[in-house]
Amino acid sequence: QKEVEQNSGPLSVPEGAIASLNCTYSDRGSQSFFWYRQYSGKSPELIMSIYSNGDKEDGRFTAQLNKASQYVSLLIRDSQPSDSATYLCAVEEGGGADGLTFGKGTHLIIQP
Amino acid sequence: GAVVSQHPSWVICKSGTSVKIECRSLDFQATTMFWYRQFPKQSLMLMATSNEGSKATYEQGVEKDKFLINHASLTLSTLTVTSAHPEDSSFYICSASSGAAATDTQYFGPGTRLTVL
C-alpha cells in the first residue's frame, strides 16, 4: 500500500514569512514528485514537480527532494494571503502512465 | 496550453439513476487519462486509469461494473456512475497525460461535483 503522509495543519504563517510544507512517502520506487495547490471546491493546480535529489526553485517556490529519506518539501518565500490553500503532495511510481498517490494535504493559512 | 475540461461541472440526480461525466483534453492528445474521487476533507483517490482504445484499469476497491469508463479517443474519456446512491456523492476529477515518461505532467480538469439524493 503506497502512502503519502502530510501534516494536515492548519499551518499558520505571517504574511511575508517563509512557509515550509513537508511530505514523506512509503514507496521507494517512486520517481516523480509533485506539489499541488487546491482551493476549497476547486481542482488541484500544479505548483512544482521534482524528479531528482536536491532543490528546485521556481519563483517564490522551492521544492526539495531527498530520496534516501523519502522526504519531499515545499518552501514558499514571501508568503502572500493568496497562498492560503490546501497543499497536496503527490507521488508517482513510474512515468506519465501511472496515477498519482496523494497525501491528505496541509491547510496553509497566511495571516495578513 | 494543456487544458483539460470536464462536463458537467456539477450534477444532482436521484438515487438509482446513472450519470455520465465527460473529460476532454482540449489542446493535446492524451495517451492516458485518470479518474480521481475526492470526498469532503479527504485527499484525491485514484479510481482508474484508462488508455485510448483499451479497457480501464481499476484501483482496488473500485467496482468496475459501477464506474464504467470509456476512452474512445485521444481527447475524450467518460465516466458513468451507474445506479448512483448517496454514498457516491463526491467530487470527481479527471486528469490527462500526454506521455509515459516520468517527466510527463498530468493536467487536471476542473472537476464534477456529484450529489445523489
pLDDT tens digit string along B32-82? 899 999 998 888 999 999 988 888 999 999 999 999 999 888 899 999 999
Task: Say if A40 is an interface residue toward chain B (CB within 8 Å).
Answer: no
Alpha carbons A98 and A4: distance in angstroms, whole number: 15
Determine how many CB atoms are found less than 10 A away from the CB of residue A53: 11
Q: How far apart are the first and last CA of chain A?
A: 40
Q: Point out the residue among A46, A92, A102 whose CB comes nearest to the CB of B43.
A: A102
**CA B12/CA B18 separation, integer angstroms:** 11
* pLDDT < 50 positions in chain A: none
Mean pLDDT of B95-114: 82
**A/B interface, count of CB pairs below 8 Å:** 71
Q: Write down the pLDDT at residue B38.
A: 96
Q: Does A94 touch chain B (CB under 8 A)?
A: yes
* Nearest-angstrom CA–CA distance, B33 and B24: 9
pLDDT score, position B2: 81
Mutate to test the interface with B, among A34, A43, A88, A106 (most CBs of B within 10 A): A43
Any alpha helices (H) in A1-112, and if so which ranges? none
pLDDT-based confidence at residue B105 (cuts at 50, 70, 90) = confident
